Amino acid sequence: MNLTVTDVRLTPILVADPPLLNTQGVHQPYTPRLIVEVETADGITGVGETYGDTKYLELARPLAERLVGRQVSDLNGLFTAADEVAVAASRVSGQVDVGGLRGVQTADKLRLSVVSGFEVACLDALGKALGLPVHALLGGKVRETVEYSAYLFYKWAEHPEGVPAEKDDWGAALDPAGVVEQARVLTERHGFTSYKLKGGVFPPEEEIAAIRALAEAFPGHPLRLDPNGAWSVETSLKVAEELGDLLEYLEDPVLGTPAMAEVAAKTDVPLATNMCVTTFAEIKEAFTRDAVQVVLSDHHYWGGLRNTQQLAAVCRTFGVGVSMHSNTHLGISLAAMTHVSATVPDLHHACDSHYPWQPEDVLTERLTFDGGKVTVSDAPGLGVELDREKLAFLHQRWLDDDGTLRDRDDAAAMRAADPDWVTPSVPRW
């Protein structure tokens, strides 16, 4: 068996995305992703997926070159190589420090997000070479299925007039009735039994009404609300008081660990985050101040599947819950999330996934939710197969783009409908 990497292919793509609203704006009609393929001397190809914006591509390209000649099993070496590439790149482009829906953006997080696509591709190739599923390489599955929640969004019926976009059949969801209807359709199609609403879009009273409507339509089912830090401490406490008994947890009601700690100290509603604990460096302060009760991992920006397992172990040590965060992603990442989630013993919350919102994929066969769950694959590697025609089609869309969609910008997308829109300062309410 020859596990030497002989080729690494990077394919940036643009995938259709519906007009989903959040506190910063609206999803672009097409969002960038990067597909990573790692090929070994034996002709085995492993696939990975990560963010595809320009700054990720700029790091991915030199890392891809550096991997040729190394072993796909050398996952620790992958991190060293990424460090070297990132140091070289930082001399050119400097630090990244822009706020976003995933917390503060740093050079460290950028590097780890790039590494994650390569780590998953290497694990896929290694699993195929050994005839083992990725979960086995991570120590083995402790469950047969991984549960996901219905990810509800306020949504326009279509992208703004004049903006080239794909049509979708979800309709609009801009009030409690629309949110409930969307939840019903998601449930019919995929069998979800827990619900998360992306908030921070409308004044809190309207989002409180939407959660109440969901509680009425789906009595006893776990509900979550995530305004992405759009609220003040006072507003967060008011929402927690009003919705307390209905919420499984409140996700990032305020920005930053000190404010989260302030809210947590005054409510019994658990607080979850994918914004104030996004790196190992942020754990100590948040956990010692009891600022968060659930960390939503994301294998992309935590640096891959093994780092996600390490995060889960730290959370377990401190009695903090763990689940999975999701950004727009395709089937490769859903498969990766499912493999790693299958190995985390105390995963007590359904994971998030945007996958139902992505009609396009690069796989020969889409992954499916049955009863809101994805069955953990026992096929070698991730258990998915790349469809080269679909990949080529989505890559061509990226090639044809004049550059405006290659870097996701929800505020810019919102300006197509509202030319005066600027990213709201927080707290917004």
Binding site for Mg ion (CB under 5 A): 226, 251, 274
For Mg ion, give the closer residue by CB, 53 or 251. 251
Taking the complex as a whole, the smallest distance from the CB of residue 229 to Mg ion amounts, in Å, to 9
Taking the complex as a whole, the smallest distance from the CB of residue 325 to Mg ion amounts, in Å, to 6
Phi-psi region of 195 (alpha: psi -120 to 50; beta: other; left: phi over 0): beta
CA distances from 152 to 19, 291, 326, 356, 396 (A): 12, 25, 12, 10, 30
For Mg ion, give the closer residue by CB, 49 or 226. 226
For Mg ion, give the closer residue by CB, 5 or 295. 295
Distance CA 395, CA 3 (A): 28
Question: Do 87 and 94 form a contact (C-beta atoms < 8 A)?
Answer: no
Taking the complex as a whole, the smallest distance from the CB of residue 78 to Mg ion amounts, in Å, to 27
Choose among 130, 89, 129, 126: nearest CA to 107: 89
Taking the complex as a whole, the smallest distance from the CB of residue 275 to Mg ion amounts, in Å, to 6
Taking the complex as a whole, the smallest distance from the CB of residue 172 to Mg ion amounts, in Å, to 22
The C-alpha R_g of the chain, in whole angstroms, comes to 21
Q: Is 198 labeled as catalytic in the residue annotation?
A: yes
Residue of 135, 196, 198, 354 marked active site: 198
Taking the complex as a whole, the smallest distance from the CB of residue 102 to Mg ion amounts, in Å, to 8
Secondary structure string (H, E, C) spanning the chain: CCCEEEEEEEEEEEEECCCEEECCEECCCEEEEEEEEEEECCCCEEEEEEECCHHHHHHHHHHHHHHCCCECCCHHHHHHHHHHHHHHHHHHHCCCCCCCCCCCCCHHHHHHHHHHHHHHHHHHHHHHHHCCEHHHHCCCCCCCEEEECEEEECECCCCCCCCCCCCCCCCCECCHHHHHHHHHHHHHHHCCCCEEEECCCCCHHHHHHHHHHHHHHCCCCCEEEECCCCCCHHHHHHHHHHHHHHEEEEECCCCCHHHHHHHHHCCCCCEEECCCCCCHHHHHHHHHCCCCCEEEECHHHHCCHHHHHHHHHHHHHHCCEEEECCCCCCHHHHHHHHHHHHHCCCECCCECCCHHHCCCCCECCCCCCECCEEECCCCCECCCCECHHHHHHHHHHHHHCCCCCCCCCHHHHHHCCCCCCCCCCCCCC
For Mg ion, give the closer residue by CB, 124 or 251. 251
For Mg ion, give the closer residue by CB, 251 or 410. 251
Distance CA 201, CA 258 (A): 23
For Mg ion, give the closer residue by CB, 23 or 307. 23
Residue of 27, 325, 354, 373 marked active site: 325
For Mg ion, give the closer residue by CB, 119 or 251. 251
For Mg ion, give the closer residue by CB, 40 or 333. 333
Taking the complex as a whole, the smallest distance from the CB of residue 226 to Mg ion amounts, in Å, to 4
Distance CA 289, CA 256 (A): 12
Taking the complex as a whole, the smallest distance from the CB of residue 353 to Mg ion amounts, in Å, to 13
Catalytic residue ranges: 198, 325
